[in-house]
């Protein structure tokens, strides 16, 4: 009986697809890419380290030949795949159907070097029907897609490794530039500049609470002042944002507070007469099904998910067979999906809620190069979330996708819109109302709202029946002041929307872009806002002045189009790479020729304009500087200060704080050392004694607890913080001490290696022994000592190789466990949100890592990081396996393996 080896990217996908394949098919996971360009100098093979192009990882003089290396953690996996291939008669590459998946499949073929026939299998959902069809319609690797992906990877490397060292030399160490990330940062910087340049304007108007006669509570409605004496009253859109004054050419009435109050007193006693009633019917059509971009935007607005979280959860849903492929530019639905949605609408809402004919949506994005269908529930049943074994974030995201898909085939909503004008003396007030005549698709989905039923109420703003000439009563009349607001900062949702609108990057890369610019210190989150840092300002200014093309929106979008052309076979990738990097106007020459003209002092200075000081970027971050009486004064800037919020007043306060030094709270009665309140990069803290540069011992320090204000800090509280960890007493059963302290994961109590986290209203400063014993006893029935059982936070299910997979609460935080394998949770993942798919990937990655010697019997997931012992034996690992090969067509000669 012939055997076939199928390779996919992840264990979850392997498990799901395995359900629909015959018994003679073996499914293995590659765990993503099996090789890549060198990530560091350590990964460059010894034989290439002397080559001038080795650091770049791309031999630009040899037709941009990439140096591909196999990471250490992939060696064991590749050996397993090769072993499985030996027993197979055929290799089927079933990686994802986009460029990335095509590239992974090509790399697998290059590394495994199969002698057996190779087929490429693609599908956009993991259902029995889709898998069976994909097996019947296999194809060869699409080298045009591979070339496009490889070109993108090389472009990113060329930009990053050519421009980033320039930033290190001219601004500060460890900075980076990126083909798409630098453009995304520029968008954020431009918006922050607009906010900084913004000048607020003030205006007043009147708001009336009116009532139709006779007096009935349901007949009350609000109206706003529109004009006085035939002149329109000013609103926010009439102001010039750079001056805070009415824009030139605007003939409007600008009321101040006194004028508004005077007008109020004059009008409140007047006769309020309905002057005009305008009614019209309107329809609202449903939105198209989700693409990658619109899903990220809506998940951010409705569920508060980051782009990265959205894609992670969607990946799990796809790999478990619940939704179609989640990286797509297309809004198209298959006939199968349309029919399934229409059947479900008839069943759940009735025939009248169905659109008269099937709705078909056209993809607006030019050359939608990803999956050929929108993101929708997989299969032909359109199963609601309530009928699936989903919970938590996975259920919420699936439900969002289901509602959007079903709504796309529902009837239009019909509304009646009414606008009413009311005259009183020489003033005109206006109000508008909206009534839903037929809910249509609103029954299933209202954009920006979690609950369609509740959202229907917000869609309705009814007015009482009013007729021209009718008199109404004024119940209240209020003068209302307004201040114009600066342009809103980008959120993840609005940044994704802007990137897509400008044609920058691909929707499938937006999550990575947003994550990268935060990790590299160019952006931080303030509530939902993405705020650029001062460093982002400096880098953007340098690129704008000396490498404008790299951060030009149209130029970057044109690069994306060129990649699309390569994927379609319409453009030679080598020709494009040569044009971009080599030649007189290529990036390589631009950097060489312009570097000398860049003054490091100017490059590291942030131009803010209206500030009585300069902002500089130093080795340790941004700081303020200015000359005063012939002396140079400096002061560090808080790391989470938005550039638009830096004022002269704040700058002065920071200079004064630097001059005044730390605040002395008092003197410790035991040591007689001063207790100081200081502010560091991570916030305020207390310190016992002054810094002594001649001492190797640092003074004792303690950060203020969450919610503490430096202004309210007392000597008693400061000493209590410095006393941590404190002993509460002895455990009645063991006689060992019970302590309270603050660690990496916040306040805790501990006894004999068992930790219990503290949450409000318990406080680490005043918790007593009895309460600590309660918390410790409640933790897994007293578990926590080494060798004892750990607290199970969540049961995830069965491992494909047998055995339970669990999320456990260990001594050093939560981790996932399967048999004797443990993997620590990433910092940004909550234990309750962990899925089986994630856990399997983490466990598989942990198994591929070489084991390191460690003391004691604690699990590796619970071991704190330790420095390697001096004089450790040299590594006996085998030399890294390295290959370089260009994706080629049959008519082109392949580059020889190195």
- In 457-559 the beta strands, taken as DSSP E runs, fall at 471-483, 523-526, 529-532
Do the strands 674-680 and 683-688 form a parallel or antiparallel pair, or are they unpaired? Answer: antiparallel
Q: Would you say the C-alpha torsion 146, 148, 151, 153 has a positive or negative sign? A: negative
Each residue of 554-581: b (16+ CB within 10 Å) or e?
A: eebbebbebbbbbbeeebebeebbeebb
**Distance between CA 729 and CA 769 in Å, rounded?**
6
**Distance between CA 127 and CA 123 in Å, rounded?**
9
Tell which residue, 317, 213, 321, 328, has the closest CA to residue 272.
213
Each residue of 233-272: b (16+ CB within 10 Å) or e?
A: bbeeebbebeeeebeeeeebbbbeeeebeebbeebeeeeb
3-state class of 742 per DSSP? strand
**Distance between CA 676 and CA 668 in Å, rounded?**
10
Confirm if 748 and 759 have CB atoms less than 8 A apart.
Answer: no
**Distance between CA 861 and CA 663 in Å, rounded?**
41
CA 587 to chain centre: 30
Tell which residue, 457, 496, 486, has the closest CA to residue 311.
496
**Distance between CA 704 and CA 749 in Å, rounded?**
18
Confirm if 851 and 821 have CB atoms less than 8 A apart.
Answer: no
Instruction: Supply the Cα-derived Rg of the chain in whole angstroms.
Output: 32
**Distance between CA 534 and CA 489 in Å, rounded?**
15
Tell which residue, 354, 355, 364, has the closest CA to residue 332.
364
Tell which residue, 90, 94, 135, 95, has the closest CA to residue 114.
90
Q: Would you say the C-alpha torsion 505, 511, 515, 516 has a positive or negative sign? A: negative
> Quick one: the chain helix, strand, coil %, rounded to 5?
35, 25, 40
Confirm if 783 and 751 have CB atoms less than 8 A apart.
Answer: no
* Annotated catalytic residue 398: no
Three-class SS of 25-79: EEEEECCCCCCECCCCHHHCCHHHCCCCCCCCCEEHHHCCEECEECCHHHHHHHH
CA atoms within 13 A on the CB side of 417: 7
Q: Which residues contact 651 (CB under 8 A, 6 or more apart)?
A: 611, 612, 613, 624, 635
**Distance between CA 642 and CA 767 in Å, rounded?**
37
Structure tokens at 663: 């605040």
**Distance between CA 49 and CA 186 in Å, rounded?**
35
Q: 18: phi > 0 → left, psi -120 to 50 → alpha, else beta; which?
A: alpha
**Distance between CA 203 and CA 736 in Å, rounded?**
68
- Residue 569 vs residues 97, 138, 258, 752, 875: alpha-carbon distances, Å: 17, 20, 70, 66, 46
3-state class of 650 per DSSP? helix
Q: Which of 318, 325, 573, 576 is catalytic?
A: 325
**Distance between CA 346 and CA 890 in Å, rounded?**
53
Backbone angles phi, psi at 224, to 5 degrees: -115, 145
Residues serving a catalytic function are 325
């Amino acid at each position: 009986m012939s055997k076939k080896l199928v390779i996919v990217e992840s264990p979850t996908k392997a498990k799901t697809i395995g359900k629909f394949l015959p018994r003679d098919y073996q499914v293995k996971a590659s765990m993503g890419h099996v090789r890549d360009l060198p990530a560091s100098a350590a990964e460059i093979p010894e034989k290439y380290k002397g080559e001038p192009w080795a650091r770049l990882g791309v031999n630009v003089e040899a037709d941009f030949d990439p140096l591909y290396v196999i990471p250490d953690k992939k060696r064991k996996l590749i050996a397993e795949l090769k072993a499985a291939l030996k027993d197979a008669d055929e290799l089927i590459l079933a990686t994802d159907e986009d460029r990335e998946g095509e590239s992974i499949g090509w790399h697998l073929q290059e590394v495994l070097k199969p002698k057996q026939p190779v087929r490429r299998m693609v599908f956009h959902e993991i259902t029995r029907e889709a898998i069976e069809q994909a097996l019947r319609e296999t194809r060869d690797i699409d080298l045009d897609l591979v070339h496009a992906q490889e070109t993108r990877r090389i472009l990113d490397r060329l930009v990053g490794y050519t421009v980033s060292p320039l930033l290190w030399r001219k601004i500060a160490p460890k900075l980076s530039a990126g083909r798409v990330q630098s453009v995304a940062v520029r968008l954020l910087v431009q918006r922050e500049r607009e906010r900084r340049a913004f000048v607020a304007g003030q205006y007043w108007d009147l708001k009336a609470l009116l009532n139709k006669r006779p007096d009935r509570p349901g007949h009350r409605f609000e109206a706003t002042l529109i004009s006085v004496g035939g002149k329109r009253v000013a609103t926010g859109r009439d102001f010039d944002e750079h001056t805070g004054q009415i824009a030139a050419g605007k003939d409007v009435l600008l009321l101040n507070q006194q004028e508004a109050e005077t007008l109020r007193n004059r009008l409140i006693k007047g006769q309020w007469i309905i002057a005009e009633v305008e009614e019209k019917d309107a329809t609202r059509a449903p939105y198209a099904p989700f693409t990658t971009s619109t899903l990220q935007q809506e998940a951010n607005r409705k569920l508060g998910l980051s782009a990265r979280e959205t894609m992670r959860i969607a990946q799990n849903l796809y790999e478990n067979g619940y939704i179609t492929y989640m990286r797509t530019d297309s809004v198209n639905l298959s006939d199968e999906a349309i029919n399934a949605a229409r059947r479900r609408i008839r069943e759940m809402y009735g025939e009248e809620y169905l659109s008269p004919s099937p709705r078909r949506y056209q993809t607006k994005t030019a050359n939608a190069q990803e999956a050929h269908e929108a993101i929708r529930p997989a299969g032909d049943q359109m199963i609601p979330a309530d009928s699936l074994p989903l919970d938590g974030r996975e259920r919420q995201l699936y439900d969002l996708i289901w509602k959007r898909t079903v709504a796309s085939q529902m009837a239009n909503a019909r509304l009646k819109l009414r606008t009413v004008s009311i005259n009183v003396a020489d003033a005109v007030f206006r109000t508008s109302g909206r009534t839903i005549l037929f809910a249509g698709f609103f029954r299933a989905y209202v954009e920006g709202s979690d609950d369609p039923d509740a959202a229907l109420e917000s869609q309705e703003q009814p007015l009482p029946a009013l007729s021209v000439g009718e008199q109404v009563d004024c119940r209240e009349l209020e003068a209302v002041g307004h201040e114009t607001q600066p342009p809103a900062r980008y959120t993840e949702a609005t940044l994704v929307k802007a990137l897509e609108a400008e044609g920058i990057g691909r929707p499938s890369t937006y999550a990575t872009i947003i994550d990268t610019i935060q990790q590299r210190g160019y952006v931080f989150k303030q509530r939902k806002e993405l705020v650029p840092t001062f460093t982002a300002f400096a880098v953007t200014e340098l690129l704008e002045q000396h490498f404008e093309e790299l951060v030009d929106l149209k130029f970057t979008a044109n690069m994306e189009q060129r990649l699309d052309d390569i994927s379609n076979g319409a453009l030679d990738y080598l020709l494009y790479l040569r044009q971009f990097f080599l030649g007189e106007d290529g990036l390589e020459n631009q950097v060489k020729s312009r570097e000398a003209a860049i003054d490091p002092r100017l490059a590291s200075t942030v131009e803010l304009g209206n500030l009585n000081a300069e902002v500089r970027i130093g080795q340790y971050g941004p700081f303020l500087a200015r000359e005063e009486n012939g002396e140079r004064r400096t002061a560090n800037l808080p790391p989470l200060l938005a550039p638009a919020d830096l004022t002269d007043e704040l700058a002065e306060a920071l200079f004064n704080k630097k001059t005044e030094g730390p605040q002395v709270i008092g003197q410790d009665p035991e040591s007689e050392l001063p207790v100081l309140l200081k502010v560091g990069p991570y916030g305020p803290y207390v310190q016992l004694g002054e810094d002594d540069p001649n001492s190797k011992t640092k003074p004792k320090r303690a950060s203020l607890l969450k919610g503490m204000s430096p202004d309210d800090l007392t000597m008693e509280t400061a000493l209590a913080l410095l006393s941590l960890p404190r002993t509460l007493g002895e455990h009645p059963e063991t006689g060992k001490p019970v302590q309270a302290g603050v660690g990496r994961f916040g306040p805790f109590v501990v006894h004999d290696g068992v930790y219990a986290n503290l949450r409000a209203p318990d406080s680490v400063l005043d918790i007593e022994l009895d309460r600590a014993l309660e918390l410790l006893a409640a933790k897994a029935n007293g578990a926590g000592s080494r060798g004892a059982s750990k607290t199970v936070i969540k049961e995830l299910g069965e491992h494909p190789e047998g055995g339970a997979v669990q999320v456990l609460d260990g001594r050093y935080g939560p981790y996932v466990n399967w048999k004797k394998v443990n993997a620590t949770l990433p910092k940004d993942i909550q234990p309750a949100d962990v899925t089986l798919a994630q856990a399997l990937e983490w466990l598989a990655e942990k198994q591929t890592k070489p084991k390191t010697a460690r003391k004691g019997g604690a699990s590796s997931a619970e071991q704190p990081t330790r420095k390697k012992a001096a004089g450790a034996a040299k590594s006996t690992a085998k030399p890294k396996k390295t290959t370089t090969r260009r994706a080629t067509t049959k008519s082109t000669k392949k580059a020889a393996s190195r």
